[in-house]
Structure 1
């Protein structure tokens, strides 16, 4: 094997390690790879071909913590990669659904639009593939992922702080539509979903970036739990790891996705709204008056989610509106437009 330097070989190939919770998982992934090899400057090394751990992510610790039946049981890992999201999106045919790809460092992590992000050590950066037949569910999948992350952080808080009411101890919230925020308005992470339609299925590549132990540039899960431990006077609280948190996210995502695919988003909506920032939030829209052509401000109040998955809001007269972003801004709450329901 060629010497690895920063996750890439001397020939310019990015080396990616393939492992499974069981040998059956590894064999399943290898069969897919044999049928459709990956494209681009990447070399996927199955577990049977090497016992060397090419990434600092502790795969053994992750699999030990992983519960559930399928999600995350096949794991790709790399020390450095341009983007886990781009790799899986461009090679989705090469891997079975339920696969997860985690990297220590990303140089060109994918964000909304054409934004690229450099992700530092301490950040949990992964992409995961889910397949869904019902296309009408797609707009809500990002909400399911957001809820899974929130519940996983709460679960890890309960374990690390050894307290039963972890949801109160760590007040992490969802900023619509797909960001995770710490108390004080500091962003912890975000979610990106990209879809490929193949073989009568929608294959959704879910990308997640979550600050776990890196407090810069905003805050991280470890800092949130440290503050909670001080407030609750918990000494010797365990520090969360990328491995334990990813295992918890995979377990919660599998449970929630099962409900979601079977019954839609309705059974999960209450939990989602209980964990978001926006119920009762006042929003201000700037619109053109149809009579005069002059700009005017319109005051609305967010009440929940509309059937479409966009924001549901009411005006002072109680009229209901659907709010959606104009598509031109990173902050979705700036530039909202409304549609009467």
Structure 2
């Protein structure tokens, strides 16, 4: 089965570059931008050997999983571009729901699942990581910002040796391929990127993201380096920061860090 764009993305003239195998679709997308590419374009493979996730962590996609990156360019600041990651999360969660429903219609043995967005850029299923996302940006010679959003979806296998629980669609009972997920994703991305509208529509994306958020209203702990802060996950603000309410009722915006569900002990236990 070949990778194809969904009908909405195809009609919009979005580009598509497919690799049988590649080191990193994010690197491929940024190389395209540096070489003068300006048309929005997807870079996809079912075999990625040198991918990098958030905080430069290794993200290897074995054969059959989906490694996908989309290139866009914007006349926005890096801070505004950073909020595009939330649009990506909403888009991929929607695509996964659609694919799961379609698979269940094709096969009574295929299961539907509840997918949740984990701040800032993961998707969970049953509490285990299913998708990792990574956003990179670079200023182009014309002053616009090249933005590459990488999305790695575990379709047939889950990586081993990670500090957190991971899963894949096949383990969840979803009978779908990387090509199925990508076709749905390319269309849902086109929709959510339009709603985001160069940052002007982030308030709507924010609402959609919060509707699907994991741990909202619950105790979470954020670890950044050796520092851990815990509190109730109240919301995300207009810049995408997670807002915690601490035990002394302070509201603390968190710009970056690793999220653990539960109190500080849960974060320290992950050392």
Q: Write the distance in 2 (CA, Å) between the matches of 1:311 and 1:106.
A: 31
| Residue 30 of structure 2 is aligned to residue 86 of structure 1 | no
Q: Write the distance in 1 (CA, Å) between the matches of 2:153 and 2:222.
A: 31
- Are the counterparts in 2 of residues 71 and 250 from structure 1 also a CA contact under 8 Å? no
Q: Write the distance in 2 (CA, Å) between the matches of 1:100 and 1:93.
A: 15
Offset at 1:225? 4.2
Specify whether residues 314 and 90 from structure 1 end up closer, same or farther in structure 2 by C-alpha distance, changes over 3 A only: same
Match in the other structure for 1:47: none
Offset at 1:106? 1.6
Q: Write the distance in 2 (CA, Å) between the matches of 1:109 and 1:139.
A: 20
SS at match of 1:131: strand
Within the candidate set 64, 86, 90, 1:147 is matched to 90
Within the candidate set 251, 264, 280, 2:187 is matched to 251
| More displaced 10-residue stretch of structure 1: 272-281 or 110-119 | 110-119
| Residue 95 of structure 2 is aligned to residue 156 of structure 1 | no
Match in the other structure for 1:214: 157
Match in the other structure for 1:181: 124
Deviating 4+ runs (over 6 angstroms): none
Greater Rg by CA: 1
Instruction: Provide TM-score, normalisation by structure 1.
Output: 0.65
Offset at 1:272? 0.5
SS at match of 2:21: strand
Specify whether residues 85 and 300 from structure 1 end up closer, same or farther in structure 2 by C-alpha distance, changes over 3 A only: same
Match in the other structure for 1:305: 236
- Greater strand fraction, Structure 1 or Structure 2: 1
- Are the counterparts in 1 of residues 15 and 39 from structure 2 also a CA contact under 8 Å? no
**TM-align CA RMSD:** 2.8
- Are the counterparts in 2 of residues 101 and 128 from structure 1 also a CA contact under 8 Å? yes
Q: Write the distance in 2 (CA, Å) between the matches of 1:111 and 1:285.
A: 18
Kindly provide the CA deviation profile for residues 187-227 of structure 1, in whole angstroms up to 9, marking residues without a partner as x.
1120111112122321101111101122554321233244x
Match in the other structure for 1:271: 208
SS at match of 2:255: strand
Match in the other structure for 1:124: 66
Q: Write the distance in 1 (CA, Å) between the matches of 2:230 and 2:44.
A: 43
How many residues are paired up? 246
Offset at 1:158? 2.1
- Are the counterparts in 1 of residues 8 and 190 from structure 2 also a CA contact under 8 Å? no
- Are the counterparts in 1 of residues 131 and 153 from structure 2 also a CA contact under 8 Å? yes
Offset at 1:315? 2.8
Q: Write the distance in 1 (CA, Å) between the matches of 2:89 and 2:20.
A: 26
- Are the counterparts in 2 of residues 67 and 247 from structure 1 also a CA contact under 8 Å? no
Instruction: Provide TM-score, normalisation by structure 2.
Output: 0.80
Within the candidate set 214, 218, 223, 2:171 is matched to 223
In structure 1, the gaps of 5 or more residues are 1-56, 227-238, 287-295, 336-341
Equivalent runs, 1:230-249 vs 2, <5 Å: 239-249=175-185
